[in-house]
Amino acid sequence: MTTKTKTTWRTVRLKDVADINAHSINSDFPHKRIEYIDISAVGSGTVSNMTEYELSEAPGRARRLVVDGDTILSTVRPNRRSFLYVQNSKENTLASTGFAVLSPKKETDSRFLYYLVTRQKFSDYLSANTKGSAYPAVSPEVISDAEVSIPVHDEQKRIADILSAFDEKIENNNRIIKALEEMAQAIFKERFAVSLDAIPSGWGMKKLGDFGKIVTGKTPSTKEKGNFGNDYPFITIPDLQNGVFVIRTERFLSEQGAATMYASKLPAGAICVSCIATIGLVGIATRESFTNQQINSIIPRSEALRPFLFLLLRGMKRNLQSHASGGTAAPIISKGAFEKIEIVMPQEKILTGFYESVNPMFEKILVVLEESQKLGAMRDLFLPRLMSGEIRV
């Protein structure tokens, strides 16, 4: 790699190098079942799950047809940086209409296109051109008309090869994490999947509040800019979509902001559960943190309870939803309702044995996640310099 002034790059409109929303399904769509990618399942280059539906029962948003090499980019709240490079898709894979689907034209490398539109600079452009206050969104036309600089195809491919090497290592780490999660979940089911009609001798029923301290978050005044900074992670629902541990957040509080919320400070190891609107996402804080009011957290009374409570709550999504009030528009589990939810309490020695079996898996997951975070930071360091032509390859 060399650093020099770019000479073979040209400035174009994005629509000159990619088609936007080129294919949507119609009455001729040949598949009766679909795999659906929803906005809520997509993070920054990751997808937590694809949901299978009968086409007749699928959400009305399931309209965008996607194929391998497409990039899907959220048009709602683009500052949240929700995007995905589509790989290993099926002929019946559909994405929400909340995404713009970018398909590379003939002389455009698909992975280069992905890195081009997922740069922070491009996200900032989209955020500056949103409309609406409650759900700020950007139109496909704004995306199509964006000015971008690109090199010739061969250089596009070389740049994409360098950046994708980081992403491939991160993806391999994701597979390791998934395998560890599945192993821990299998052990959990083996030891704790019991019927309420046949609870083993020595076990009992306890309320969540008996397992630790329940804390509900809040949001400091957003009118006071000094409340936000770089001192404490401020966990919100999107931050719970990225796996077992919360190792990064969209926003942070300053010392000033944290001082206004001292009573709701969480220690590392607290288990955060989304309890308003999107109910049942679960994540473990990795450092002293705060959450907003949409999250109830439990600070386990002992470290040995943490893996048990996390896996229990992760598998309780429907049960948690049944405890919500407020109707379907804005379901909510209050702090009082959350701490009164009853769960099976195994014998202490069984919990201790379970902890000894699975905690090494949780520790390995955290190590691998932190490695991926470092790899992502290195990629993000190279990305703007490569994508601007400052570094030539």
- Please say if the pLDDT value at position 245 is more than 70: yes
Average pLDDT over residues 130-149: 91
Pairing of strands 71-74, 93-96: unpaired
Mean pLDDT, range 372-380, rounded to an integer = 91
Is residue 338, in this structure, part of any structural domain at all? Answer: yes
What does the pLDDT look like over 66-80, one tens digit per residue? 999 999 999 999 988
Total number of domains in the chain? 2
> Could you give the angle at the alpha carbon of 33 between the alpha carbons of 31 and 38, nearest 5°?
115
Please indicate, yes or no, whether residues 130 and 51 belong to a single structural domain of this protein.
Answer: yes
Please say whether the beta carbons of 187 and 354 come within 8 A.
yes
Which of 150, 173, 196 is the endpoint of a domain?
150
Check residue 372 and give its pLDDT. 93
Shared domain for 20 and 87, answered yes or no, is yes
Look at residue 110 and tell me if it is in a domain. yes
Residue with token string 């994708």: 164
Neighbours of 388 (CB within 10 A): 13
List, for residues 318-350, the tens digit of each pLDDT value: 888 888 887 666 789 999 999 999 998 999 999
| Amino acid sitting at position 329 | A
pLDDT digits (tens, 9 = 90+) for 172-184: 999 999 999 999 9
140 plus 225 within the same structural domain: no
Domain's final residue, options 125, 150, 175:
150
Find the helix or strand (DSSP H, E) in which 191 lies. Answer: helix 153-192
**pLDDT of the residue at 215:** 96
Cα(358)–Cα(361) distance, integer angstroms: 5
Q: Are residues 14 and 134 in the same domain?
A: yes
Domain end call among 308, 325, 345: 345
Q: Exposed, middle or buried by CB within 10 Å (0-12, 13-18, 19+), for 182? A: exposed
Rg (CA), the chain: 23
pLDDT of residue 7: 63
- Rounded Cα distance between 271 and 281, Å, is 10
When pLDDT is averaged across residues 227-255 and rounded to a whole number, the result is 91
Six-digit token pair at 278? 């999107």
The answer to whether residue 234 sits within a structural domain is: yes
Place 195 in a pLDDT band, splitting at 50, 70 and 90: confident
pLDDT for the residue numbered 331:
87
pLDDT band of residue 1 (cuts 50, 70, 90) is low
Domain around 243: 204-345
DSSP state letter for 359: H
136 shares a domain with 21? yes
Q: Report if residue 59 sits inside a domain.
A: yes
Would you say residue 296 lies in a domain? yes
**pLDDT band for position 391 (50/70/90)?**
confident
**Both 208 and 334 in a single domain?**
yes
Query: 229 in a domain, yes or no?
Result: yes
Which pLDDT does position 201 carry in this prediction?
Answer: 86
Mean pLDDT of the chain: 91
For 272, residues 6+ apart whose C-beta sits below 8 A from its C-beta are 235, 240, 246, 266, 282, 283, 284, 285, 291, 295, 296, 297
pLDDT, position 299 = 97
User: Are 27 and 141 part of one and the same domain?
Assistant: yes
133 & 262 share domain: no
pLDDT band with cut points at 50, 70 and 90 for residue 189: very high
In tens, the pLDDT along 154-172 reads 999 999 999 999 999 999 9
8 A C-beta contact, residue 270 and residue 231: no
Query: In this structure, is residue 131 part of a structural domain?
Result: yes
Q: For residue 312, what is the domain's CATH number?
A: 3.90.220.20
Q: Are residues 213 and 335 in the same domain?
A: yes
244 and 116 belong to one structural domain? no
pLDDT of amino acid 98: 93
Q: Tens digit of pLDDT for each residue in 253-296?
A: 999 999 999 999 999 999 999 999 889 999 999 999 999 999 99
CA–CA dist 201, 194 (Å, integer): 12
Cα–Cα distance for residue pair 251/232, rounded to 1 Å? 9
Token pair listed for 167:
């992403």
Q: What type of residue is 51? A: T
Query: For the sheet containing 71-74, what is the strand order?
Result: 18-20, 99-104, 71-74, 83-85
Token pair recorded at residue 334: 């209050």
Tokens for 73, please give them.
């980019």
pLDDT range class, residue 145, cuts 50, 70, 90: very high
Is 80 a domain residue?
yes
The CB density around residue 290, as the number of other CB atoms within 10 Å, is 28
pTM for this entry: 0.79
One domain, residues 338 and 214:
yes
Nearest 5°: the CA angle 96, 313, 171 is 50
114 and 236 both lie in a single domain: no
Tell me how crowded residue 238 is: count the other CB atoms within 10 A of its CB.
19
pLDDT at 51 over 60: yes
Bridge partners (DSSP) listed for residue 73: 83, 100
Per-residue confidence (pLDDT) for residue 327, from 0 to 100: 65
φ and ψ at residue 97, rounded to 5 degrees: -70, -5
- pLDDT value at residue 2: 54
